[in-house]
Amino acid sequence: MARARGKHTVRSPVVVEPGTGEGNEIGMSARTAGDVSPIPGGLDHITNAPTVRQHVPIGVSRPEHLGILAHGVPPEAHTFRQRADLEKGPNDAKPLVPKYDAPAKTVNPIPVYVVEPAQGPRPLQTLAADSFTVPIKTSAPIRIASRDYARSHILLLVETAAGAAGAAPTGIRFDHEISNLMVGKGALLPAGAVSYLRMTCNDELFAVSNDGSACTLSVVFLYGIAGAG
């Protein structure tokens, strides 16, 4: 009975004083230690109950499971998470930046001169002449030259004398396009000229009078025949 009686002795309560570590931990101060608070208002201020900080033990995490089927790769070479990061690739965006070529340097133009086509070592220069009666401007244009790749030049001259003081006839108009002549366009070849108009042309040409008077047109075709000399 003496041993059991010693275990059940009543212990005196622990008195917490303001200004000590235990008092500061529960928020006790000299103003709140009494039964009645000296703070104006006459209300009792209840201090916080003492608490005991709990420390939860955390065990060491287990190593990552490497698996038993590595498919030819040693299990200890990497973990599943490392392998997923490697297969995922870099986690950054790389937008395509357009690349523009440098501006081309300014090229100086090379002058080109139209000359007679080469006809071999001994070409034969020859001609063919013709004359046409060019109808008035309200008529359909006539063909004065056909397409001929052997022709090098064509010469035109209006034989009809020009009218006095700008009166008809004033000349003819010629062009490659009939539609231009039908609406009064085309190049003007005036009447009364003293020399032929020389042109480099081997395509077809059409002509019509510039006014209500018909004109006589003289045409000369120049050719170069290769190796005929």
Residues of the chain with pLDDT under 50: none
Q: Which residues pair with 224 in a beta bridge?
A: 125
Tokens 């480099």 identify what position?
Answer: 200
Q: Give pLDDT, residue 185.
A: 92
Q: Give pLDDT, residue 171.
A: 95
Instruction: Work out the mean pLDDT of the chain and round it to a whole number.
Output: 79
- Across the chain, the runs of DSSP E, i.e. the strands, are 124-134, 142-145, 151-158, 171-175, 187-190, 197-199, 205-209, 215-225
Q: Give pLDDT, residue 222.
A: 92
pTM above 0.75, yes or no: no
Q: Give pLDDT, residue 94.
A: 73
**Cα–Cα distance, 202 to 214 (Å, whole number):** 26
Q: What is the DSSP letter of 82?
A: H
- Segments in the chain forming alpha helices (H): 2-7, 21-25, 80-88, 178-182
Q: Give pLDDT, residue 212.
A: 92
Sequence spans of domains, the chain: 124-225
Segment 35-70, tens digit of pLDDT? 555 555 555 556 677 777 888 888 877 776 655 655
Segment 16-32, tens digit of pLDDT? 777 787 777 777 777 66
Which one is the CATH code of 124-225: 2.60.120.770, 3.40.50.150, 3.30.70.1560, 3.60.140.10? 2.60.120.770
Q: Give pLDDT, residue 199.
A: 93
